[in-house]
Amino acid sequence: MSIPLWKIVVYGLFIGVTISSLVLFAFRLIPITKGLMISILYFYPFVGGLTAYLTYKKLKLNPSENKKMEKINIEPQRPENNPELKVIEIANYKEKLERIKNLKKTSLILKGLIKTRRKLEKLKKESNSILEDTIERMDNKTLELTKEYLKTG
């Protein structure tokens, strides 16, 4: 399992640029010339890339260390022996119970809303009947007043 050269160089350049940025930030507090600042900016990525390349060569020259890492064999644990799996199952179980609880709450809220809606519809019917009765009384009273006005006139 070897790391490709390009990845090592890119990581080295990234580290170099990061360090140079930090150093340049520190040098903003200390006055330096523009040329020195630019040379520092180019120097650190070069050193980072060179370090990465030398590390890559060292890894390539010492394959015995890489083989040691490859020889490690990790056996998967059975579900009954794996306590992490049980924790995950408990977490999933708790999550499902929470969802069921939320569904029950939502169902109760919806039932309450339906009852309230029915009560409002009943009140609407009652208020409409009262309004109709009032309008009928007003019409009757208007007719009576019209008849009396016409009789006297």
Q: What pLDDT digit, counting tens, does each position of 16-47 carry?
A: 777 777 776 777 777 777 777 777 667 766 77
Domain ranges of the chain: 5-71, 95-153
pLDDT at residue 115 in the model: 93
- Is a pLDDT exceeding 60 seen at residue 134? yes
Structural contact between residues 2 and 59, judged by C-beta atoms closer than 8 angstroms: yes
Q: Report phi then psi at 31, rounded to 5.
A: -70, 125
At residue 33, φ and ψ (nearest 5 deg) are -80, 165
Length of the chain: 153
Is the pLDDT score of 139 beyond 60? yes
pTM exceeds 0.85: no
CB atoms within 10 A of CB 18: 13
pLDDT tens digits for 69-83? Answer: 555 555 555 555 666
Spell out the SS3 assignment of 72-86.
Answer: CCCCCCCCCCCHHHH
User: Mean of the pLDDT values across residues 100-126?
Assistant: 92
Range 104-133 average pLDDT: 92
